[in-house]
Structure 1
Amino acid sequence: MGLTLVQAWTHAKKTLEAAGLSGPVIDARLLVEAAADATRTDIVTDPYRALSVEQEARLSDYLDRRIRREPVSHILGRKGFWKIMLNVNSHVLTPRPDTETIVDLVLKQTEEHQRFSILDLGVGSGAILLAILAERPAAKGLGVDVSEEALAVARDNAAHLGLAGRVALLRGDWAAGLGDESFDVVVSNPPYIAAEVIETLEPEVRDWEPRLALDGGPDGLDAYRELAPEILRVLKPGGIFAVEIGYDQKEPVEALFGAAGAADVRTLKDLADRHRVVAGAKKPLETGA
């Protein structure tokens, strides 16, 4: 007789623990659910349901891949972010809870039925842009990325979420090809890891995520040097921006946006109390008395 759901979960946890992986309890549950076509509720309410031979083989494959440090999101091909589920692969960064800080900020500064335009530079999977548009039905967005493979993932996600009609996706180098277009909100999660640090990262990131989305140059700040003036150029007067940063980049990134002429520049912390998002605005046009 094959493994039951509860036995499969126990086996998966022990296998991942023995391999020295962090977070084995959650990873094990996610892999068992996917392999056995089960839900978390099934594991609790029907723990003695047996896996088929095919399901056991699938779980074994998933565990082997996880032991090789392939991220769970790549194994399953999906990742939850904010309130949406996204398809992901090796061409895009796996969305992380830290990045939800940007989504939270934009939603707090806009109204539910407000009409506004949003630009996401380095859109990747579409996580930030699509999470915001899913909660702001009158808004429209443009996502720009240099990677055509990443744009394909974003298009797929927009279609699955029913948002394709409110999203345009463009291959480009940051805001260089946007001409005179302007936006009410600009967001970005650019590459910000110093090049020499990449080799020290966890294998799940170092070996599986796109270098293009990680490498921020010698000091990790290359993208912000380009983005600060470009974001201020394409923002409408009074418009707001938010960019993700590394935990130790608050001062230099704030300085770059200040030098570019941004107003109200400040840094927000993530749920782990680390500096995570530099935000600000473009000064509104002055009106005569």
Structure 2
Amino acid sequence: MKTDRSLLTPEQIALLPTEDDIAFYEEHGWYISKKVLADEAIDAAILGSEQFYRGERDGSLPYATTGYSDWKPGDSDAVRNNQHVSCRKKELRQLMLHPIIGAIAARLARTKQIRLFEDTLVYKAPATRDSEGVVGWHTDYSYSSNCTSNKMLSAWIPFHEVEPDRAPLVVIDGSHKWSNTDHLRCFNHQDLKEIEQKFVQSGQDIIEVPIIIQKGQISFHHCRIIHGSYSNHSNLRRLAFALYLQDGDNCYQPFWNNGIQIHHFLDSVCRRLPNGYPDYSDPDVFPTIWSAE
């Protein structure tokens, strides 16, 4: 599959990150794009999200049935977290495959190919009490230790503008360069200050940056940057689509934690390599979003 610059209009090419933008991303670990997605594309994804929450599914792509977060009616609305959605709802898959997303990611990661690794649809209802809906500090790489690449990155696509009171994504500036975050799996830990103290005691400066963003913009963050979010203090829902992206060199590696071998839920779905390892380039499970090869 070749999805090169010919799929972008001249206007879209002009919106790609500049060398200064890439240098900023490499130094700080995050980047906010210009408005690169049309309202119509996002509105279609909103419709697909609403259908998904009502239980509607489509497509015949392979997908895992267990091993991941998958909110269902009756669960708490504080945070609806549904992974592995783009293979179950075509409107979200269509947005995920938009070439501008992969093109920006490829520039930031200085790679020729970008593939999906996994995706998550995240909904936050307005909070009714303090700490409700808080997402704890974590790194995406902590949850993908079976990956060999340090260039992986996430695209965070809100479906509306996100102001400071509407639970923006918050990154800790420059933390992708820290060396003690490999096991920061605190997504469900709501006491952010308690987690921060571990880094303060190590002499690291905590500089929180809320990602204030308009509809049609996308934020990107490095796989090792620490991030989370506070409660939704607005009176509106917060709805976003997060894509965890792999560069062309990424592949599977065996990983053990405290003597237990760790497996990603997609390892059971994708095809196998001749050596028996999961193939993280399986086009049905990890589709190519951008390739200049």
**TM-score between both structures, scaled by the size of structure 2:** 0.21
The structure with the largest helix share of the pair is 1
Name the TM-score, length of structure 1 as normaliser: 0.22
Which gives a bigger RCO, structure 1 or 2 (Cα 8 Å, sep 6+)? 2
